[in-house]
Amino acid sequence: MTAIGIHDIEVATGHHVVNLTELAEARGVDPNKYIKGLGQDEFSFPAPDEDVVTMGATAAHRLLERTGAEGIRTLLFATETGVDQSKSTAVFVHKLLDLPGEVRSIELKQACYSGTGALQAALGIIARNPGERVLVISSDIARYELDSPGEPTQGAGAVAMLVSADPALVEIEPASGVFSEDVDDFWRPNDSSTAVVDGGLSITAYLKSVEKAWKDLEQHGGPSISDVAAFVYHQPFTKMARKAQAHLAAFTGTELNDGALDTGSVYNRRMGNSYTASLYSALTSLLHHEDGLTGKRVGLVSYGSGSVAEILTGIVRADDATRRGFRDRVLGMLDSRVRLSVPEYEGMHEKAMPSAEDTETAAVTKSPFRFAGVRGRARHYERA
């Protein structure tokens, strides 16, 4: 059987950053409530001329600079903060990346899970046509009401993955475990720019889904849990990965590699929640910071509220030096974000781009692409 998986991976994020110690002080709470209680240090915040399209295109652009676009006939864009009810984010990105016309371009949605759904679709396409490659993008902006419990878990980020046969980075194994259940733990109505969250129910639903998905993986020929060297998880906040791992360890009666929770959370602690991109930024962080993984199995635990969960496993192919070589670039990107004071952040948070009138956005982002504004109720993008 031909090996199929992630050939390369790239991360992008927003222009601005908010420090959670400063936010805690402004909200009159102990900073440790955010730093230790949630496991978050800061979160990315997009500039007015950034959105999920520009972040996704930026991650993909950096990726394709290394790999080229040859053989790409499918572009799958996973997001829960899409910009149009009909036209897919993938079509906007297709133009920005100057991809050929012979590419199917599709958007997928199911809360934070759909990046994994896109990856599974990509694996199926390549199984039928091993000569093709699929570009998978996950990009989201997590936004909650000011001074709400969810506020410190905001964030913004994108991950682009090139999926192919004979992958250089991670070979995804065929067996997976899945679980779906209708739960109102988190959702965003069509008339709202912020999400509605039942925090307690969301944690309960997440942990239940991890347990059920693992059972399903066992029943469908998955590996023994003792054969998984490290797990990464969807991280609405990084402490959630610890809760999920503790639950999985207790449920299976197995001691798991908790050290990988640290290496797998380096980027998420700084970017905040990136919804569909969260699991895959965690995977990127693990690959960049955890040595000794070459030839070993990693577990990918995906969860999307509402809810759908899936557990995949993969074999790491790239050596330590190759994987470490990309670490400094991502850390440099995070270091170069422009810090917002709390009043500056609050002012930007309250502004929403209207779609019913023509608007031009000021040029702020240093990324390759920017959201230029609305003309005739249609969104327009350009190279920065």
pLDDT at 352: 63
| Mean pLDDT, residues 221-238 taken together | 97
For the chain, the straight-line distance linking the first and the last C-alpha, in angstroms and rounded, comes to 44
- Is a pLDDT exceeding 90 seen at residue 177? yes
pLDDT in tens, 259-303: 999 999 999 999 999 999 999 999 999 999 999 999 999 999 999
Catalytic annotation, residues: 80, 112, 234
The CA distance from 182 to 305, in Å, is: 9
Closest by alpha carbon to 313, among 302, 298, 301? 298
Neighbours of 141 (CB within 10 A): 25
Band of pLDDT at residue 186, cut at 50, 70 and 90: confident
Which of these, 286, 61, 231, 267, lies nearest to 155 by C-alpha position? 267
Average pLDDT, integer, range 135-140: 98
Q: Give yes or no for residue 185 having a pLDDT over 90.
A: no
Residue range 306-311: mean pLDDT, rounded: 96
Check whether 194 has a pLDDT greater than 90: no
6: pLDDT strictly greater than 80: yes
pLDDT band of residue 198 (cuts 50, 70, 90) is confident
pLDDT band at residue 353, thresholds of 50, 70 and 90? low
Q: Provide mean pLDDT across the span 206-235.
A: 97
In sequence order, what E strands does the chain have? 4-13, 16-19, 42-45, 72-78, 104-108, 133-142, 155-165, 170-180, 186-187, 196-197, 230-233, 297-304, 308-316, 338-339, 359-360, 369-375, 378-383
Q: Which domains does the chain have, with CATH numbers?
A: 4-383 (3.40.47.10)
Q: Is the pLDDT of residue 200 over 90?
A: no
SS3 78: strand
pLDDT value, residue 356: 64
Residue 192: pLDDT over 90: no
Q: What is the C-alpha separation between 252 and 228, in angstroms, rounded? A: 13
Residue 354 confidence (pLDDT): 57
What confidence category does residue 151 fall into, taking pLDDT thresholds of 50, 70 and 90?
A: very high
Of residues 51 and 198, more confidently modeled: 51
Q: What's the chain's average pLDDT?
A: 95
pLDDT band at 350 (very low <50, low <70, confident <90, very high): confident
Q: How far apart are CA 291 and CA 300, in angstroms?
A: 18
> Nearest CA to 234 among 276, 186, 293, 179?
276
- What does the pLDDT average to over 99-109? 98
Overall average pLDDT of the 96-117 stretch: 98
Whether the per-residue pLDDT at 181 is higher than 80: the answer is yes
What is the DSSP pairing of strand 297-304 with strand 230-233?
parallel
Q: Which two tokens stand for residue 244?
A: 């999920």
Return the closest-CA partner of residue 231 out of 220, 218, 222, 244. 244
Region 220-246 average pLDDT: 97
- Provide, rounded to the nearest whole percent, the portion of the chain with pLDDT above 70: 99
Strands 4-13 vs 170-180: parallel, antiparallel or unpaired: antiparallel
* pTM confidence score: 0.96
320-340 pLDDT, tens digit each: 999 999 999 999 999 999 999
pLDDT for the residue numbered 241: 97
Q: Which residue has the higher pLDDT, 198 or 217?
A: 217
